[in-house]
Amino acid sequence: MIYLCSGCHKTTFEISCPWCSGAQSLDSAAPHLQHMTPLDPSFYPDFQYQSKGFIKDLLGKKKEQAQLNDLLNNVLRKYAQLKQPYFTNFIHTARDTTAGSSEASVPGPRFDGVYSQRELFREVLIRKGFDELEGLPTLLDKLLQTTTFNSVYAGFSRELTKHIKGDLHETLRSWIEEAGTTFRADLALFYFYLWENDISFSSVQFNVDAPSKPGAPLMPLAEFRNGLGLCERIYFDIEVRRFGSQLEHFNPNRFITMYLVDGMDGFEFEAFLVKVFQTIGFDVKETKKTADQGADLFVSRFGKTMVIQAKNYTGSVGNAAVQQAISAKAFYGCDEAMVVTNSYFTKSANELATTAGVRLVDRDALQGYLDDYNQKLIEVFQAEAEE
């Protein structure tokens, strides 16, 4: 089974996150699993029998496991019924899907209550007959993470399909050339896709017990790390080749530099960002220039949509731009929000963005986007020269 770490949000086949080992768990019943959310609800620790000692296991394990199986089947049935539209729409429209400290442990109204969208969502589900949420306080969090994960994986798998080649090395190269450094976080998704679609490579071996045995990794951690090492070698080779190509073909008169960006007005900057995001592989949609509710662009990739605020400034960008991005994300129901500038952000803007989960692209980060944009143009010129 594949697990999502609630701490670093990376995926792994291990029941303890290898990326942030030592993280403390709050689930006393299953301390090693609380930090990890399985993709499949059948693997949630809520539905796994916890040993109570040899004698008690001998006398009561079979009966209790049967009860847990019944509970699981009821939860799976109701989740399947309510996933569309309730769960899926909630993860795309809610501003915050995580549990907060102010939420009541028991659903329902309370004196002077200020209710989060997540609390209201839980009550909607309970009124629809999902009463198991009352007895399992962490179940909703897990189901929301699984729903979010499935949504991301669906977009990932659609993109990965076009990169499958005859051997592993060529498949990884094709994928990494487009995905860039995201391969480091998404490699578990890559292997999971191979396993789920019965795609065989002689150098990749999966654990046949993993689909039915909780805690059994789909592949050994050592083999996974070997795969990550192969990806790093491929990525390094790609970067060397691209840099050599850039040195050979770069012409300052045909490419965009940051100084040219500085000379753009607001509308030119937005139009240029359209070209940048399209060139590096995003689907882009511009907004109307009036009444845009804080949105300048919408970009999408891997099934996720992001709203972008574009700020071509000579001075620092403050809180107002971040607040506009937050409002636009909520108004348009986007998955993410970003503010892009050719300048830098104030300290308070950075703090607000961190709290609200808004991605900030300052002058230094924008230079990275320009490098990718110029590199793509080089590849186009090379392809045209070879024709």
- Determine the pLDDT at residue 31: 40
And the tokens for 176? 């990494």
Q: Model-level pTM?
A: 0.62
Residue 269: pLDDT above 70? yes
In a domain, 7, yes or no: no
In a domain, 243, yes or no: no
- Determine the pLDDT at residue 263: 87
What is the per-residue pLDDT across 192-239, written as a single tens digit (0 to 9) for each?
999 999 999 988 989 888 888 877 889 988 999 999 999 999 999 998
- Determine the pLDDT at residue 119: 86
What is the per-residue pLDDT across 356-374, written as a single tens digit (0 to 9) for each?
889 999 999 999 888 888 8
- Determine the pLDDT at residue 32: 42
Distance in angstroms (rounded) separating the CA atoms of residues 225 and 85:
38
What's the structural domain count of the chain?
Answer: 2
Looking up residue 276, the CATH number of its domain turns out to be 3.40.1350.10
Distance in angstroms (rounded) separating the CA atoms of residues 325 and 382:
38
In a domain, 19, yes or no: no
Angle between the N-to-C axes of helices 363-386 and 221-249, in degrees from 0 to 180, rounded to the nearest 10: 70
Residues whose CB falls within 8 Å of the CB of residue 44, separated by 6 or more in sequence, listed in order? 37, 38, 139, 142
And the tokens for 365? 């980060």
In a domain, 196, yes or no: no
Average pLDDT over residues 26-54: 67
Average pLDDT over residues 96-104: 61
Four-residue CA torsion sign, 161, 167, 170, 172: positive
In a domain, 31, yes or no: no
Phi, psi of 128, rounded to the nearest 5 degrees = -85, 5
Q: Buried b vs exposed e over 41-75: b needs ≥16 C-beta within 10 Å?
A: bbbbbbbbbeeeeeeeeeeeeeeeeeeeeebbeeb
263 and 381 share a domain?
yes
152 and 266 share a domain?
no
In a domain, 58, yes or no: yes
Q: Of 156, 174, 208, which closes a domain?
A: 156
Q: Of 156, 190, 222, which closes a domain?
A: 156
Distance in angstroms (rounded) separating the CA atoms of residues 363 and 386:
35
- Determine the pLDDT at residue 23: 41
Looking at per-residue pLDDT, the higher value among 384 and 327 belongs to 327
Q: Residue by residue, what is the 3-state secondary structure of the chain? A: CCEEECCCCCEECCCCCCCCCCCCCCCCCCCCCCCEEECCHHHCHHHCCCCCCHHHHHHHHHHHHHHHHHHHHHHHHHHHHHHHHHHHHHHHHCCCCCCCCCCCCCCCCCCCCCCCHHHHHHHHHHHCCCCHHHHCCCHHHHHHHHHHHHHHHHHHHHHHHCCCCCCHHHHHHHHHHHHHHHHHHHHHHHHHHHHHCCCCCCCCCCCCCCCCCCCCCCCCHHHHHHHHHHHHHHHHHHHHHHHHHHHHHCCCCCCCCHHHHHCCCHHHHHHHHHHHHHHCCCEEEECCCCCCCCCCEEEEECCEEEEEEEECCCCCECHHHHHHHHHHHHHHCCCEEEEEECCCECHHHHHHHHHHCCEEECHHHHHHHHHHHHHHHHHHHHHHHHC
Average pLDDT over residues 62-72: 87
Domain that holds residue 120: 40-156
Looking at per-residue pLDDT, the higher value among 73 and 20 belongs to 73
In a domain, 186, yes or no: no
Q: How confident is the model at residue 347 (pLDDT cuts 50, 70, 90)?
A: very high
Residue 98: pLDDT above 70? no
381 and 265 share a domain?
yes
Distance in angstroms (rounded) separating the CA atoms of residues 214 and 49:
11
Q: Of 128, 156, 184, which closes a domain?
A: 156
Least-confidence region, from 224-233, 301-310, 350-359:
301-310
Phi, psi of 299, rounded to the nearest 5 degrees = -125, 145
In a domain, 127, yes or no: yes
Least-confidence region, from 92-101, 115-124, 181-190:
92-101
Span between the terminal Cα atoms of the chain, in Å: 46
Q: How confident is the model at residue 383 (pLDDT cuts 50, 70, 90)?
A: low
- Determine the pLDDT at residue 100: 60
Average pLDDT over residues 305-328: 90
- Determine the pLDDT at residue 99: 64
Average pLDDT over residues 281-290: 71
Mean pLDDT, rounded, of the chain = 83
